[in-house]
């Protein structure tokens, strides 16, 4: 199973905000610097995460973004299901685009489906809070990313 870049970045934004503890508002520019990823991608992602009710966006001069829920209330499996466009890991998972000749008799699709379900079930066991138990270490790494990018 491979997650899209969109889901990867969505999870990174949530991790960043969870580490920051909502003490101060964060912004897309600092998150982009911390992870060395495109601000344009993050703008789309934060917009979608806001529509999903996972983050809160505050507009204006002193605006920014923060988590809309407590980290313990954000389930990783749910985030992945909401941010992945589909789970068509093989052609036969897509009923509209399946041209595989052996689909009617193939058992591989059942094995892959079972594996994908197991993958999601593992993700369902974790919350954002579980992923930031080493918050101080993560925060230090994220801040050092800011310092490095500001010094160049």
Confidence of residue 64 (pLDDT cuts 50, 70, 90): very high
Say which residue, 105 or 66, is predicted with more confidence: 66
Q: Name the more confident of 86 and 56.
A: 56
User: Can you tell me the distance from the alpha carbon of 21 to that of 29, in angstroms, rounded to the nearest whole number?
Assistant: 18
Whether residue 62 has pLDDT greater than 50: yes
SS3 of 27-55: the string is: CHHHHHHHHCCCHHHHHHHHHHHHHCCCE
Residue 152 has pLDDT above 70, yes or no: no
Domains and CATH numbers, the chain: 5-150 (1.10.10.10)
CB 58 within 8 A of CB 65: yes
Predicted pLDDT at 80: 97
Most confident of 82-86, 98-102, 126-130: 126-130
* Per-residue pLDDT, 146: 53
| Whole-number pLDDT of residue 50 | 97
pLDDT of residue 18: 95
| For range 90-102, the mean pLDDT | 77
Q: Rounded mean pLDDT of 65-69?
A: 96
Distance CA 65, CA 99 (A): 44
Cite the beta strand spans of 1-152 per DSSP E.
55-58, 64-67
Q: Which tokens in the block code for residue 92?
A: 């036969």
Specify the pLDDT at position 147: 47
* pLDDT score recorded for residue 2: 82
For residue 75, what are the CA distances in angstroms to 11, 24, 44, 59, 148?
11, 23, 21, 26, 32
């Amino acid at each position: 199973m491979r997650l899209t870049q969109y889901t990867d970045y969505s999870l990174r934004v949530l991790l960043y905000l969870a580490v920051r503890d909502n003490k101060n508002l964060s912004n897309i520019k600092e998150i982009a610097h911390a992870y060395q990823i495109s601000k344009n991608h993050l703008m789309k992602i934060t917009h979608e995460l806001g529509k999903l009710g996972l983050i809160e966006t505050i507009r204006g001069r002193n605006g920014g973004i923060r988590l809309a829920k407590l980290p313990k209330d954000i389930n990783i499996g749910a985030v992945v299901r909401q941010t992945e466009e589909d789970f068509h890991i093989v052609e036969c998972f897509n009923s509209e685009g399946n041209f595989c000749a052996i689909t009617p008799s193939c058992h591989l699709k059942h094995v892959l489906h079972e594996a994908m379900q197991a993958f999601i079930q593992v993700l369902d066991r974790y919350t954002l809070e579980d992923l930031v138990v080493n918050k101080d270490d993560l925060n230090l790494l994220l801040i050092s990313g800011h310092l490095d990018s500001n010094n160049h």
